[in-house]
Amino acid sequence: MIEMRSDTFTLPTPEMLTAMTEAELGDDVYGEDPTVNELERRSAELTGKEAACFFPSGTMANLASVMAHAPRGTKAVVGTESDIWLYEAGGASVCGGVVYEPVPNRPDGTIALADLAASFPADPDDPQFALPSLICLENTHNRCGGAVLPLDYLAEVRRFADERGVAVHLDGARVVNAAIAAGVEVAEITAHVDSVQFCLSKGLGAPVGSMVAGSAEFVGKVRRLRKMLGGGMRQVGLLAAAALVALDTRERLAEDHANARRLAEGLALIPGVEMDPDTVKTNIVIFKVTDERFTWRTFLASVHQQGLAVTEFGHGRIRAVVHNGVSAEDVTAAVGIVARVLKEGPTAG
Ligand SMILES: *Cc1c(COP(=O)(O)O)cnc(C)c1O
């Protein structure tokens, strides 16, 4: 099976498995796991922040970050296409008493400043209004096809947030992809935000984990919240060891971007597929099947039968994600499968 449902399907490399067996371990809740401490130091350095904290998942990393920034009863402004709004089970409302305010994402993953401004009440002294305390951005933007937010846009949001006295959190699940695609350092992106979470378990290829980075004071808060949420783990250097290899080999993501681009170009040539390869900037390819013999369901089933796993992605779209378990040959084969299925029509049953 060519597995393109997600870059979360990456399996640890032999180098990661070796690093895991050789990792020096301790109790991380006591702050005594040297491998975790090293990963936290390296992650702070990568993002240009004072400190960082290892989390079991991106969801918990975002949750703790939102809770650390946003007092109960205040608003976290989030994009309508964001992971925090759509895919994280409403955690900050449930656990933190935070009010989400979803505002439209544009196709390039940005949120218009005018829409951000509209989420602030005209009269902040009027007691009926919940007040925004936090703006959340996402980079790369998953539901916007792995779009990379422009640096000058991030600078504008930073200025806007400073004027209004609110914080900015970046859901940077794939911020390393963003940096590599834009040819900049991760820290040039994260310089514009107060905090960032990034996933080790997506394209970076580690089996488990996410990092939150920010000021030392902020990271102290999220570390307490992590314990409260049940995410304080013990000899978690086992996982941090794989993550350190993932960071050392992060330039590899450029291969995924090249493969994704080739996949998009191949798909764009197939009659019955709607795909603009110029929209593909990183490792996510979103397309539509316009051939009326298919529904997204019958398309997914038909390609699956031929050995290709992709996923439905809202608004009738299909998502294919390229990662270290997908080779250049797999990309060629995947294009061949889609072409064959669209030529032959849906598979019965
Ligand atoms: C995957 C993802 C998350 C959540 O990470 P998990 O480790 O799956 O909880 C958050 N934001 C974005 C944009 C993601 O793609």
> Would the CB of 201 count as within 6 Å of ligand 1?
yes
Pick the atom of ligand 1 nearest to 60's CA: 9
- Which of these CATH numbers, 3.40.50.720, 3.40.50.920, 3.40.50.300, 3.90.1150.10, describes 254-344? 3.90.1150.10
The two three-digit tokens of residue 53, written as one number: 């904290």
Give distance in angstroms: CA of 226 to centre of ligand 1.
16
Say whether 23 sits in a helix, a strand or coil: coil
Q: Are the CB atoms for 302 and 341 separated by under 8 Å? A: yes
pLDDT for residue 349: 54
Contact 5, 310 (CB under 8 A): yes
Per run of 10 residues, the mean pLDDT along the chain (length 349 residues) is: 98 98 98 98 98 98 98 98 98 98 98 98 94 98 98 98 98 98 98 98 98 98 98 98 98 98 98 96 98 96 98 93 97 98 86
pLDDT at residue number 332: 98
CA dihedral (106, 108, 112, 115) in degrees, to 10, reads 30
Beta carbon of 190 within 6 Å of any ligand 1 atom: no
Does 173 sit in the ligand 1 pocket, CB within 6 Å?
A: yes
Ligand 1 pocket, residue 57 CB under 6 Å: yes
Angstrom distance (rounded) from CA 144 to CA 109: 5
In this structure, what DSSP letter does residue 277 have? G
User: How are strands ordered across the β-sheet holding 210-214?
Assistant: 51-55, 210-214, 195-199, 167-171, 132-138, 75-79, 99-103
> How many angstroms separate the alpha carbon of residue 270 from the centre of ligand 1?
31
Distance between Cα 12 and ligand 1 center (Å) = 18
DSSP 320: E
Query: What pLDDT was estimated at residue 115?
Result: 98
Q: 175 CB under 6 A from ligand 1?
A: no
DSSP state string for 74-104: -EEEEETT-HHHHSSTTHHHHHH-PEEEEEP
This prediction has a pTM of: 0.97
Cα 71 to ligand 1 centre (Å): 23
Name the residue ranges covered by the structural domains of the chain: 14-249, 254-344
Domains 14-249 and 254-344 share a fold: no
**Residue with CA closest to ligand 1 atom 3:** 58
- From first CA to last CA, the distance across the chain in angstroms is 19
Return the DSSP state at 278.
G
- Residue 138 Cβ inside 6 Å of ligand 1? The answer reads yes
- Domain 14-249, what fold? Aspartate Aminotransferase; domain 2 (3.40.640)
Atom 6 of ligand 1, nearest CA residue? 58
Question: 10 Å Cβ neighbour count for 97?
Answer: 13
